Each structure stands twice: as C-alpha cells, then as structure tokens.
Chain A
Amino acid sequence: MSAVSTQQVNRLSGGLVDRGQPLSFRFDGQSYQGCSGDTLASALMANGVRLMGRSFKYHRPRGLLSAGSEEPNALVELRTGGRQEPNTRATVAELYDGLDARSQNRWPSLERDMMAINDRFANFLTAGFYYKTFMWPKAFWEKLYEPIIRKAAGLGRLTGDADPDAYDKGFLHCDLLVVGAGPAGLAAALTAGRAGARVILADEDFLLGGRLLSEAQPLADIAGADWAGQVQAELAVMGNVRILPRTTVFGAYDHGIYGAVERNADHVAAPDAGKPRQTLWRIYSKRAIIATGAIERPIAFENNDRPGIMLAGAVRSFANRWAATPASSVVIFANNDDAHQTARDLQAKGVDVPAVVDVRPDAPEIPGIELLAGAQIVETAGRLGLRSVTVRMANGKTRIIPCGALAMSGGWNPNLGLTCHQRGRPVWDGDLHAFVPGQDLPVGQHVAGAAMGAMSTDAALRSGAEQAGEALADLGFTVPAPELPKAEDAPVSLTPFWHVQGAKRAWLDFQNDVTVKDVKLAHQENFTAVEHLKRYTTLGMATDQGKTSNVGALAVMAELTGKSIPQTGTTIFRPPYTPVAMGALAGRAVGKDFHPTRLTPSHAWAEEQGAVFVEVGNWLRAQWFPKPGETHWRQSVDREVQQTRRSVGICDVTTLGKIDVQGADAAAFLNMMYANGFAKLPVGKVRYGLMLREDGVAYDDGTAARLAEDHFVVTTTTANAVLVYRNMEFVRQCLCPDMDVQLISTTEAWAQYAVAGPNARKLLQKIVDPEFDISNDAFPFMACGEITVCGGCRARLFRISFSGELAYEIAVPTRYGDALMREMMAAGEAFDVTPYGTEALGVMRIEKGHAAGNELNGTTTALNLGLGRMVSGKKDCIGNVLSRREGMNTDDALRLVGLKPVTPAQSLPAGGHLMAASGPVDAAHDQGYVTSAAYSPTLGTAIGLGFVKGGAERLGEQLRLVNPLEKQEMLVEIVSAHFVDPEGEKLRA
C-alpha cells in the first residue's frame, strides 16, 4: 500500500485520480488533501475518515454505504453562505480545491451528537410510534407534539440567504436518448451514432464508463476505462451525438419527454459571472434507452450500519477507480460470486482481506483468501467506526474477526427508477432474484444492460447495441452492429439471502432508519400490503427513494406473510430519480422575471409623471398620478376624477383585449358569441356586448365596432382578453366551422386612450386632422371610424364611455402611442387636462353604475346584472338556453343596485353582506352582498354597487351591511346604480 501523502493513509496505487493535481478541502472544519478525480467521499476515505453523518431518526453514526447516487448515509452540507446546499451525497460531490463540506443532523459535533439519545429509546421510536404515542390530549398534537417532532426531524439545513447563482433551462431533441454511459449505454450510443441518428448520451457521473471505471477486468485486451475513453473520443467528434456528462436524467414523462439536470458548475468553487450553476433540460426523444445499471443491495444483520460497513461493489469502485480503501483490512460478507471479485481486487491492491464470509455452503474458493462458507455475520463492534465483526461459522461456533471495514453484498437490483415513472410495474426474475423492467414501459423506452438484467459486462455491451438497433430500426434507420470487445461474461451466481435470523437491530433502510424489526411490527399490525408497509415504516421515503432498501424489506415481508416476493409486490418509483434543486426548476424565472411583464405604450411617459403602477395580470398599469403636495392616494384619485368630470382626463386603455373579426359571416359569428344582437349594427357604429358562458352565466363584456360590413373590432376586458379570443377560436373552429370568419388579436398593435370629460371633443379636435368632422352631429355617441391624427397618422376613433362622460377612445399604431399621449397632454393644457389611472377609472365606473370584474364574478347572470333584456330571444348564442333555467330566473333573484351609507361619513366595505335592518345575521337571512365600493368625490360620500334580492324594486329601503370577520355593521340605503347622470345626457352631449 503506497500512500500519496502522510494524511492520505488509505490511498492506494493506480486508479483514475490525478496525483499531480492535489486539491485542498475541508470537512467539519478540518483540512484535508485529495486529488483531481476524487469525489468528496473518495477523498475522505483516502484520508481515513469513516464517520460522515448521522442517521435520520436514531442519529446513529454513519459512514459511506455506496459509491454512487444511491448513497443513503453520507449526506453533507456543501459550501457556505447563499451557496450552502444541504443533503448532498458525498459520493457524487466532485472534489474541487477549496470545497467546504460539513456533516449534518448532529449537535454539537459529529462525534458527540446529543440526539443520539434517540438510539437509547429505540424501543419507543419504532415504526408508527407517533401514530400511537401522541394521541392524547388531542389538542396537543398541532400545537406541541408536531412542532417538536418537526424540529427533531429533517437532515441538512437550508441557508437563509438567497442563492446568488443563475440557473438555466433548455430543450433538447433527439432520435435516441441514452441514459447512462456504462458499457450498455456506450455501446448503444456508439451504434446509434454510427447509424447517423441524433443521439444524446447523458450520465450523472463526470466520467463516462459507468461500472467500467470500477472494474479491474479488461475488455478484450484493453482496460475498461480506456475503452470508454476511446468510445467517448469517437462520439465526441460526431456532429449527431451530444454527450452530457454530470447530467442526471431524473424523470420520464409523457410522449418520450425526459427531464435532466446538468451540473455545469457544481464542481468548481463558483460559476463564472453570468454562467449557470445548473441547467434543467427537457429532452424530447423519439426513443430512449435506459442503461442505468444496477444497484447493489445490503444484507440485514445486527448493527449492519456502522461506519466502515459498505456495499462490496462500492468498496471495489473506491479501490479500483479512486485508489482508496475504507480500511487497511476489509472482511467480505456475501451471498454471491460477484463480491468475491472485491476480495480479489483488494488483495491485488495490497489491502488485507482476513476472510470472505459467504452464506452459501458451496461458495467457490478464492486463492489466497480464507473463505468461511456457510457462515453469517451476527454482530459488529465499533461505535464510531467498525472494529470487528462476529461470524457464526457453518459449524455454529462464533469467531470475532478484527477489521476496519466490511464489504457486503446481497446481490444486485436492476436500477429501475426511470422505467416506473409512467407507472410501469417491474416483474420478478426468478433467476436473478431481482425485479426487472416489465412490459409496460413508457412509450418509446427500451432498457439495456444491467438495468434490464444483463448483468455481465459482455451481456451489457451486447444488449446496448441490440436495443439501439431495435429502437432505431423502428425509426427507419439502417443500423450496422458495431464490433464490440469480448468482456467478462460470468453468470449470476447467487443464493437469495436477505437478513440474518434473530437480529434485533438490522437495518434495511439506512437513510430512514427502518430495521427488520419495523417490518415485523408492520406485519404484526397488519400493514402487510407494500404501500402500507412503506407508509407505516417510512421505508423508501427518504431522498434516496429506498434505492438500496426496498427489495430487502419486501423480502422480509414476504417471508413473514409466507408469500413469494412477486406475490408481495413492489413499490414503484416516482420522479425525480435524485433530488433536483429548486433553482434548477426555476431557471431564469426568478424575482421580477418570474413572469413576463407587459408595458403599456404610455409607460415611459407615465414613469416620467411619477405614476404609481399596479400589476393587472402581466400588465403594469398606472394606478394614479400623484402631484406635488399630494400625500395620500385618495387625494390624487379624487383630483383625477374631479378634473375629468369637470374638464377632461386621459387614460391608457391599451390593455383591453382587441380582436379583429373579419369575414362574410363576421356579424353572424358575433351574434353567436354575444348575448345581444350584432347583425343589424350599422357600419360606423359601436355596440356594447355581453358574453355568456355555456352555462348561461355572464363572463365578459366589451364592445364591437363595425368598421365594414365584413369587419368588426371587438374589445374585451383586460383580464379576459385571452379567454375571449380562445373561446372565439373554439366557436369558429369547432362549433361553426362553416362560417366564413377570420380572427386575429390586435391588442398589442394599437395604443388606445380614453379621452373623457366635457372638454374631450375640444381636446381631440386639436389632434384629429381637420378633414374629419367629430362634432356631435357628425360623430354621435357610439360612432366609430378610421381617421388620421397629428398630420396624417392613421388612427381609429370610437365614441364610447366607461366614465359616463362625453368620451372617446382613440387608437394609433403602438409605436406612435407615446407621442400621441404627449401631444394630447400638450393639446389639453388649455383645458387643465389630467391623466387618470385605474383607481379613478374604477371610481368613475362605479359612479356611473357600470359592471366590471367585481360584478362579472363568475356567479352572476345578465338578469342579476340588470341586463336581462340583452339576452336576445330572437337568436341563438352561447349560453342562451341555459341562461333560461328556472332557478336562474326567480322573482327574488339578485339584482345590481347602488348602495349609500345612511351616515354619509362612513365608508363602505366591499365584500360585506346585506341583511335586513334588524333580525338575525346568518346565511339563511342573506339579502345580497357588496361587490364594489369607493369614495365618490363627485357625490362627496362613499358609494357602492352590490347585488340585492329583488333589486331595483327596493329602492330607498335600508339594509344592514355586515362584515362579521371585521365585526363591522352599518346601515346602507338601496339607491339606483347610476349615481351620475342617470339619463346619459353627458355622454351624448
């Protein structure tokens, strides 16, 4: 055994680490040195560190179990500050210079963890203990027990700091996705690459080769790692092949879509500026080959979780690939031939192997190593690290063997995660004694290599090439079979053995602390179905999804129930295969970029005016425009309302949806969309329209302007712009495909402003080119037309009013919107023009009694809104029939009314319910509710809109407005909803 440095006491010779590139790192504050090519796990192992973590429940000292992503024990926190990341498996953390790692789930230190007291009370903390022990008193659960349990539970800590790094996201397409770059995956990628298919080869490791990197046996006459290197070199120059190392394919989704995370910068201290730490890829594959290999399973025996007790294949990986051994003397415990290879490899590397303990009485001899055939390990010793194992020999005698590590193997399970993500059910293979993929794989998915049960290197290579050939032949490729080297082809030789009888504390699930005893308890309490077993014991629920534990626990349950393992069943896996960082899922969509923002054409101008903006969907709209000296929003809003009603105001209404409707049947189409009729609307006129859902409930209102016999422009509310367009497309394409009608959205194409107030016309006359007469006679209420403004700019003018004032909406191509706003404001100076925001807009429409989103709330009908007569009986329309349902047309149906506080100084709470002036306050006596409320500067009092049973017939009646949540009660009077200009004289002026 040759040590690289005095510290790396467990470093062996050879391996795929670069001793010329030493790397410094820290673990729990202690400095160590490793090599380039190390993982945190291999570097710690080389430095003689066995204790790396504490278990979830009992806080048992734990070390490495595995060498890969299935690791349940060695979970650590990496990095510090905002980059701190909990629950990282040390086995997949690539070492870099300056890496700072810490153990977790312990206090005050890993060696002395106070919570290890739990282990003493193991008898009270068995499976399901909290279902039984915290039952009384009932009220204590939520306030006391659960918070305490939650505090004690959990593993690593989240940092409170924001993640400073960027994450990226993207989409890839391929003919063939190959998941896993072991012998099967490499053979598949090579076959497909040479056939000219678009191939993506992804592997979670930073080196390609998979198990080839861990095995000492050559492929023909070349080392496995070298062959992998050759294949990689050939693939790398193929333009049709994309290699993604450090990329975990974590989920198989519908239609051949796979999710993958590429770790771009987890192996360096910090990503370069602007570069992502990780990239989330959505991979669209026509076919996929799952070549994810196999995961070794442990054997359950007394105290089988001590640091130093590892899987035999993992010990071999550390020795061969990383040139590290967990101890200078390693005992083997197995039920199969494969683990014997670990003994041979360790021996070849100069590690002492005192004995191979094999449960099989007929286990084959290993030259130079003592074989204890038919023996079992019944106990281990060493609190913070293994010191010795106790073997019960075939003859019944026990023998204690001192050792620093134990390499165990209960056989191998095909790694099935991705084959189950579409609810594929694995099937039991009686020869392999393991579950293999069933026939119900996700569409387009093939499985190759050990993942499908082809356990030898040779079989893996060949199955990879075969599956690639099959998958691509399906796609029409001609696929010549590649020449593959002859490799190790030993048959699987294994006698099923799951746990040592009589063991009291024998771990099945290391991460979630589930023992054989817990499974027995579940059985005793009749939780025998696999899904019950899982939930009762928490088996397989941890971040490792029970990769090393599920089959063992099933075997124990099968034994207890007297059934076979396939009869007992298996749990299946869900995505993600390994944990995925939230940052990767979010990608670039963080902070204010969480969703796109929409800016109105006058946004820049409004910003210059100091406007306060409000989010309306993705839009940012000016809410009000504060003037110097205004300290409260109400001052600004009241002024905007008053100035508009007195003279003129301008509001950006571009956000309203605009849909261009053309075609010979455009009018008939709108007749179908709107409750009211549009067929007879003359060219050059606008009409208010109400749209119903198919169930007869009103959902949107707006206007349609007829620009030509076969041409309308429809406006919708801001919120429903997309919904109305979608519904129109549905009607056009599906309900009325014979109608000649064409649609396209023009919401963004036109900047549109409302110009409202008694001086609106005077202002516009300074803007509209003189050849267009917009006098009341030439351009009356509800007129519309195409005009030009400001010396020839094409524009559209609509004489419509939401405020109740003489008002217009004027539209120009969006690029001129900013300039038009500035021109209008300049032209309006003489009239003391004001811009107004959404608040003033809202106040004015309440004053006028116009319904908006608060009233079109998804429960109200045209009748409720006082628009019952708009639902034409003369024609059909969407929602017409169902709007006539009896229950929606009762005499005491809710009707829209206006409301005023009886005491004028009081303000009205929107959302409050209306009750009789005296009597009970409960749902049975509900008279209606308040939908909108505002202070009306025009009336000098609070006003509101609401729905009241019987509605307008009750004008003058007093009701109690109640808000039990806030303990509010006040008297209100039912009034007309039209507080301002009920006769509509202003808007026709």
Chain B
Amino acid sequence: MHKLKPLTPLGSHTPRVDRIGPFEIAETVETAFASVAARNGQEAAVISAMAQNHGLDLPVAGKAAQAGKLAAFWISPSQWMCAAPHETHELLAQQLKATLGDRASVVEQTDAWCRFDVTGKKLCDLFERLTKADVRAMPPGSACRSTVEHLGVFLWRTAEDQMVVLGPRSSAASLHHALVTAARSIA
C-alpha cells in the first residue's frame, strides 16, 4: 500500500455528511468509476462481453443497471459509466479493459467526479430546484446527464428516496453549496 493519503473532493480526510430536515447529503468517495466506450461497430460485442464476463446488462439511454458490485449507466451513444466499490475495484478501468480488450476504450474516471448521495422523502422537491431534468419522471434505475448550478452532472436515481449526483470534482464545494442551500430552502 502506497503512502499517499487521499483527500475527499471537499478537501477533508473524512467524507462530509449534512443532515438538513428530511434530507441527508453525503459526500461519497468509496466508488471507482470507469467509462466504457464501444469501438466503432463493437457495441453489441461490448454489451455481450459485459454480460458474459460481469453479468451486467449495459443499459439503454436514460437507464442504469446493477449486477453485484458492478453498476453502469448510459452516458452517451455506445458509452457507459461503470461503477464499483473503490476498496475492491480501485483499478476498475484496468479490470474492465482486461475483459473487453480492443472492443472498447476504457478510461479511469474515479477522481474526475465528486459524488453526493442525497437521501430523503421529498427528493423531487429538492431536485426540481437544482436541475431541469424531469426528476419526477425518473424512477429508481434511471440516470441522466444534466446541469446543476451551471455544472455538468450525472443524476442517478438509485432508490425512491435516493439520488446520486456526480459533479466535476474540482467544483465539489460549489455543488455541495447548491445542494445544501436548496435543501435548506425547503427543509
């Protein structure tokens, strides 16, 4: 194990959790991300290789999928974002590349993003203040690309009462401020 001690996107050694009224906004660092883009004409091959090797059915546009520790959501034509626990899959990109080979371009995305898990019953009341995505029409298992306070984000509805927000890591503080302020305004 190397000696470099990680810092969270909000600049601390421990992830931050805010509880505001019915909402919990939790900075989450325990996920490794890797983008998988099918090479030209290889989309079917990539989908089948992911199903065979990882048991994961890569989802269609607007959707997410989960199989064991591995999850994926659609991010653009023939491209998905895969996610797995950081502890066991810090080298997720390498692991996926090993099984996908030349069928796909795989890129480590773990630290490109900050992740906030927002939990609470009035989830949609909160997110309609933050994003133009139609969050009420996003059942669990949905994911989309949108913006929050001028920041490009992914919204991933993991449960009826939970939305995962991925934003640019360097702007974690601004995104966090937006989440917390919006939560306070309705909490």
Q: Which positions in A face B, CB cutoff 8 Å?
A: 166, 168-173, 198, 274-276, 279, 282, 284, 588-589, 593, 595-601, 603-604, 618-619, 654, 660, 662-664, 710-711, 738-740, 742, 744-751, 788-794, 812-820, 823
Q: Find B174's partner among A166, A596, A603 (CB 8 Å cutoff).
A: A596
Contact B79–A276 (Cβ < 8 Å): no
Give every chain A residue within 8 A of B184 (Cβ-Cβ): 274-275
How far is A596 from B149 in the complex, measured between Cα atoms in Å?
7
How far is A566 from B117 in the complex, measured between Cα atoms in Å?
59
How far is A739 from B113 in the complex, measured between Cα atoms in Å?
28
Contact A792–B1 (Cβ < 8 Å): yes
Q: Which of B1-25 contact A (CB under 8 A)?
A: 1-8, 11
Question: Which residue of chain A lies nearest to B106 when distances are taken between CB atoms in the complex?
Answer: A662
Q: Find A750's partner among B7, B111, B131, B173 (CB 8 Å cutoff).
A: B111
Contact B6–A171 (Cβ < 8 Å): no
Chain A: minimal CB distance from B60 (Å): 19
Question: Which residue of chain B lies nearest to A661 when distances are taken between CB atoms in the complex?
Answer: B105
Contact A819–B107 (Cβ < 8 Å): no
Question: Which residue of chain B lies nearest to A600 when distances are taken between CB atoms in the complex?
Answer: B170
Question: Which residue of chain B lies nearest to A660 when distances are taken between CB atoms in the complex?
Answer: B107
Q: Per-position contact with A for B148-175: 1 when CB-CB < 8 Å, else 0?
A: 0111000000000000000011111111
Contact A819–B110 (Cβ < 8 Å): no
- At the interface, yes or no: B53 with Cβ under 8 Å from chain A? no
Q: Find B112's partner among A169, A274, A748, A823 (CB 8 Å cutoff).
A: A748
Give every chain B residue within 8 A of A823 (Cβ-Cβ): 3-4
Contact A746–B109 (Cβ < 8 Å): yes
Contact A788–B2 (Cβ < 8 Å): yes
Q: Find B171's partner among A598, A654, A790 (CB 8 Å cutoff).
A: A598
On whether A815 and B35 interact (CB within 8 A), knowing A173-B136, A663-B40, A746-B108, the answer reads: no
Contact B185–A168 (Cβ < 8 Å): yes
Chain B: minimal CB distance from A705 (Å): 14
- At the interface, yes or no: B26 with Cβ under 8 Å from chain A? no
Nearest first, the 3 A-B pairs at minimum CB distance are: A662-B105, A814-B111, A596-B174
Give every chain A residue within 8 A of B178 (Cβ-Cβ): 588, 593
- At the interface, yes or no: B61 with Cβ under 8 Å from chain A? no
Contact A596–B4 (Cβ < 8 Å): no
Question: Which residue of chain B lies nearest to A791 when distances are taken between CB atoms in the complex?
Answer: B2
Chain B: minimal CB distance from A718 (Å): 12
Question: Which residue of chain B lies nearest to A593 when distances are taken between CB atoms in the complex?
Answer: B177
Q: Find A170's partner among B1, B2, B109, B129 (CB 8 Å cutoff).
A: B129
Contact A819–B6 (Cβ < 8 Å): yes
Apart from A171-B132, A600-B170, what 10 extra A-B contacts exist at CB < 8 Å?
A166-B181, A274-B185, A276-B185, A588-B182, A595-B150, A814-B111, A814-B112, A816-B4, A816-B7, A818-B11
Q: What are 19 of the A-B contact pairs (CB < 8 Å)?
A: A169-B129, A171-B133, A274-B187, A275-B185, A284-B134, A589-B149, A596-B174, A654-B170, A660-B105, A664-B102, A742-B105, A748-B111, A748-B169, A814-B169, A815-B110, A815-B111, A818-B7, A819-B4, A819-B7
How far is A582 from B89 in the complex, measured between Cα atoms in Å?
48
On whether A815 and B168 interact (CB within 8 A), knowing A593-B177, A596-B175, A792-B1, the answer reads: no
Chain B: minimal CB distance from A43 (Å): 30
How far is A820 from B150 in the complex, measured between Cα atoms in Å?
30
Contact A792–B107 (Cβ < 8 Å): no
- At the interface, yes or no: B83 with Cβ under 8 Å from chain A? no
B40, B170, B184 — most chain A CB neighbours (10 Å): B170
Q: Find B29's partner among A597, A745, A815 (CB 8 Å cutoff).
A: A815
- At the interface, yes or no: B72 with Cβ under 8 Å from chain A? no
How far is A571 from B53 in the complex, measured between Cα atoms in Å?
67
Give every chain B residue within 8 A of A747 (Cβ-Cβ): 112
Give every chain A residue within 8 A of B112 (Cβ-Cβ): 745-749, 814
A168, A284, A814, A816 — most chain B CB neighbours (10 Å): A814
- At the interface, yes or no: B37 with Cβ under 8 Å from chain A? yes
Q: Find A604's partner among B7, B35, B130, B168 (CB 8 Å cutoff).
A: B7
How far is A321 from B150 in the complex, measured between Cα atoms in Å?
45
Contact A588–B149 (Cβ < 8 Å): yes
The contact size tier of chain B is: 35 or more
Give every chain A residue within 8 A of B128 (Cβ-Cβ): 170-172
Give every chain A residue within 8 A of B37 (Cβ-Cβ): 662, 742, 744
Q: Per-position contact with A for B129-151: 1 when CB-CB < 8 Å, else 0?
A: 11111101100000000000111
Question: Which residue of chain B lies nearest to A169 when distances are taken between CB atoms in the complex?
Answer: B129
How far is A276 from B132 in the complex, measured between Cα atoms in Å?
19
How far is A325 from B130 in the complex, measured between Cα atoms in Å?
46
Contact A596–B137 (Cβ < 8 Å): no
Give every chain A residue within 8 A of B40 (Cβ-Cβ): 663-664, 738-740
Question: Which residue of chain B lies nearest to A281 when distances are taken between CB atoms in the complex?
Answer: B128
- At the interface, yes or no: B39 with Cβ under 8 Å from chain A? yes
Give every chain A residue within 8 A of B39 (Cβ-Cβ): 663-664, 740, 742
Give every chain A residue within 8 A of B105 (Cβ-Cβ): 660, 662-663, 710-711, 742
Q: Find B173's partner among A166, A589, A599 (CB 8 Å cutoff).
A: A599
Q: Find A597's partner among B91, B111, B171 (CB 8 Å cutoff).
A: B171
Contact A597–B174 (Cβ < 8 Å): yes
How far is A816 from B79 in the complex, measured between Cα atoms in Å?
27
Chain A: minimal CB distance from B20 (Å): 9
Q: Per-position contact with A for B24-47: 1 when CB-CB < 8 Å, else 0?
A: 000001000001010110000000
Give every chain A residue within 8 A of B108 (Cβ-Cβ): 746, 749, 813
On whether A596 and B2 interact (CB within 8 A), knowing A662-B105, A664-B39, A746-B112, the answer reads: no
Chain B: minimal CB distance from A504 (Å): 54
Give every chain A residue within 8 A of B173 (Cβ-Cβ): 597, 599
Question: Which residue of chain A lies nearest to B132 when distances are taken between CB atoms in the complex?
Answer: A171
Give every chain A residue within 8 A of B29 (Cβ-Cβ): 815
Give every chain A residue within 8 A of B132 (Cβ-Cβ): 171, 282, 284
Question: Which residue of chain B lies nearest to A172 when distances are taken between CB atoms in the complex?
Answer: B128
Chain A: minimal CB distance from B82 (Å): 13
Q: Find B150's partner among A170, A274, A596, A751 (CB 8 Å cutoff).
A: A596
Q: Which of B62-95 contact A (CB under 8 A)?
A: 79, 91
B102, B107, B131, B149 — most chain A CB neighbours (10 Å): B107
Chain B: minimal CB distance from A904 (Å): 42
Question: Which residue of chain A lies nearest to B133 when distances are taken between CB atoms in the complex?
Answer: A171
Give every chain A residue within 8 A of B8 (Cβ-Cβ): 815
How far is A601 from B168 in the complex, measured between Cα atoms in Å?
13
Chain A: minimal CB distance from B148 (Å): 9
Give every chain B residue within 8 A of A751 (Cβ-Cβ): 111
On whether A790 and B182 interact (CB within 8 A), knowing A603-B11, A749-B110, A749-B111, the answer reads: no
Chain B: minimal CB distance from A501 (Å): 55
Give every chain A residue within 8 A of B3 (Cβ-Cβ): 790-791, 819, 823
Q: Find B5's partner among A284, A660, A663, A819 (CB 8 Å cutoff).
A: A819
Give every chain B residue within 8 A of A660 (Cβ-Cβ): 105, 107
Chain A: minimal CB distance from B112 (Å): 4
On whether A790 and B4 interact (CB within 8 A), knowing A814-B111, A814-B169, the answer reads: yes
Give every chain A residue within 8 A of B129 (Cβ-Cβ): 168-171, 279
Question: Which residue of chain A lies nearest to B111 when distances are taken between CB atoms in the complex?
Answer: A814
Chain B: minimal CB distance from A73 (Å): 35
Contact B168–A598 (Cβ < 8 Å): yes
Question: Which residue of chain A lies nearest to B187 when distances are taken between CB atoms in the complex?
Answer: A274
How far is A275 from B150 in the complex, measured between Cα atoms in Å?
22
On whether A604 and B11 interact (CB within 8 A), knowing A791-B1, A814-B169, the answer reads: yes
Contact A813–B110 (Cβ < 8 Å): yes
How far is A170 from B35 in the complex, measured between Cα atoms in Å?
30
Question: Which residue of chain B lies nearest to A607 when distances are taken between CB atoms in the complex?
Answer: B11
Contact B7–A748 (Cβ < 8 Å): no
Q: Find B181's partner among A588, A711, A739, A820 (CB 8 Å cutoff).
A: A588
Give every chain B residue within 8 A of A589 (Cβ-Cβ): 149-150
Chain A: minimal CB distance from B170 (Å): 4
Contact A596–B131 (Cβ < 8 Å): no
How far is A611 from B187 in the complex, measured between Cα atoms in Å?
38
Chain A: minimal CB distance from B159 (Å): 19
How far is A889 from B29 in the complex, measured between Cα atoms in Å?
54
Give every chain A residue within 8 A of B133 (Cβ-Cβ): 171
How far is A747 from B171 in the complex, measured between Cα atoms in Å?
12
